Structure 1
């Protein structure tokens, strides 16, 4: 009698596990990138608040000739 288990079944299980791990890893990396983007945007917003709106050095001569 031939055994009832399919020899290709093990390869399919390994492929499914590798695919699941890859999808989970990809989603985790995407989450890190999105969170890093929010942190960078927040830091940039705080940095812009520290820039003075007026020029610290007054312009004495006009820029046009």
Structure 2
């Protein structure tokens, strides 16, 4: 459900067509300690739910949704 790259964490959605996987949407996760005054505290699960809702709004059809558990709290 998240990827760490240079200390940044993102929640990603990928589409799969045959053997090809391609990125659809992503949202940046910020731990509470890194939030700015205007930021809203959101869990990775909440960000994933937003991504799914956006894709449903684009009329994407899902046959499967997978999530990777977070190994640690950030």
Q: Shared fold (TM-score greater than 0.5)?
A: no
Q: Name the TM-score, length of structure 2 as normaliser.
A: 0.23
Does 1 or 2 have the higher relative contact order (CA < 8 Å, sep 6+)?
2
Q: Which has the greater radius of gyration? A: 1
